[in-house]
Chain A
């Protein structure tokens, strides 16, 4: 009886694992199968021509560039804000300080706030200041979205930096600000992972840029221009009734998937390589 129960559950577990792993392949497989036939060089190298949305010539270069700008800008901005915060709670605050605890908890909570709320909030703030949907608005909204990811990821790494290392630095007469260098060096792989994770999230998120970044058929030239993004391009193309345009949505989804998977794979490889040289 016990043996039977054991075996039944073991079988169920293996099935569950198979479903979980195969779901990844199903998603990537579906996107590749449907996207590949509609894929061509024009998709990657051209912006939409007139009549693109009724099936005429053009590509999604505008959205690719817009997404890269937004993801790059927001990852940079988020890093500039998050790094001081993480260094502060790990180096300057005592262990078990309530501010550090409050920061960690609030970042955990913010991590769970859906991107649509960031988008709606961002847009409200923009309306208050009289700003229109623009590259800048998109970058700010996405920065809010990825900041918790950055802070949590970097914090996790910095917490594991051995205290002895920092003590050694202090005992040589280094100030806290000088010890920051050691901390940053020691957690460089973690910082890199955090940036890549944020970049991946930023490039794939649609709901936060929907209102804040807007959409256009051109590559944004300045921070005030509305910025098209790949996820929104997919969404709009897919809601078109024309089959040619829908096929382009699949091709765009393929581009986005490849971009994101490349980022997450390189994050893995880089992290592994960097961790080797760590003390």
Chain B
């Protein structure tokens, strides 16, 4: 049991080390900043610039967070502070079930609903031409995917705020919203930030749904209606093929390593913040 436990702790290290070793051949040809800042992706010429993919990932993630954060904040405040417990009992199971829906189904929904919506109704008002397969579509689908994660963490964080504080505020004549604004939100700020960071890292790594709706053009997007090509999609589309092209394999595992490193860092920090919040009340 001890061995299994230690192994499970080491698994993250193992994955990181494995990916690093496999991406060494690429790292020997160019320095890290060169790889990250170059924008030419021509595997056959040996050019591996990750900038378009990193930008694609960033666009999609930022759009998703901008949509999801206000909605989830308002939604979870309502569920926690305002809603009658009977309404809460209706809403929470739906959020749970949403978290169970497989990514590929979100992708199908994106292709059937969001992409045509953007392509036919939204984009024509802003740009001359867009197929709908865009970073915006990716962002919207991702936003919906991360609803359950943020809401469940936010509800937990709200639960750690002492009731006495809120009662004190209410007894001083503050309205419920004022209490939320000045007590609940202020007190749970670290938790909200941690939840956001977790959501960002989740959005970073989501693969198949984003792959299906983003358009996958290896160029940096210039507007939300442009196609993008996030890192996970790059790996999913190309890994395992064309192993004969030198360094290609190594480049894709380097992409996986970037994802791993960023998410490892983000997750580690935000989980530690959340654990500290929990300990404070315990």
Contact = CB atoms under 8 A, between A and B. Distances in A.
B2 interface: yes
Contact of A109 (B106, B147, B252, B268): B268
B74 A268 contact: no
A103 B9 contact: yes
B177 A27 contact: no
Q: Find the residue from A3, A16, A87, A268 having the highest chain B CB count within 10 A.
A: A16
A205 interface: yes
Question: Which one of A5, A9, A205, A234 has the highest number of Cβ atoms from chain B below 10 Å of its Cβ?
Answer: A9
Contact of B236 (A30, A87, A207, A234): A207
B19 interface: yes
Given A102-B9, A121-B18, A260-B100, A114 B205 contact: yes
B232 A106 contact: no
Nearest to B2: A88
B256 interface: yes
B232 A124 contact: no
A13 B11 contact: no
A88 B101 contact: no
A13 B78 contact: yes
Interface in B11-70: 11-12, 15, 18-19, 22, 70
A186 interface: no
A253 B96 CA distance: 19
Given A114-B263, A120-B239, A207-B208, A31 B272 contact: no
Interface in B179-201: 180, 198, 201
Interface in A95-136: 99, 102-118, 120-121, 123-125, 133
Interface stretch (A18-26, A41-49, A160-168): A18-26
Chain A: interface secondary structure? helix
Q: Which of A117, A207, A250 has the most CB of B within 10 A?
A: A117
Contacts of A257: 101-102, 105
B100 A264 contact: yes
Given A17-B79, A27-B109, A85-B4, A120 B103 contact: no
Interface string A1-42: 011011001101111110111011011101100100000000
Interface of B: 1-2, 4-6, 8-9, 11-12, 15, 18-19, 22, 70-75, 77-79, 82-83, 91, 93-98, 100-109, 111-113, 144, 147, 151, 175-178, 180, 198, 201-202, 204-208, 212, 232, 235-236, 239-240, 252-253, 256, 259-260, 263-264, 266-268, 271-272, 275
Closest 8 CB pairs of A and B: A114-B205, A204-B102, A13-B78, A16-B74, A88-B1, A207-B207, A112-B267, A231-B104
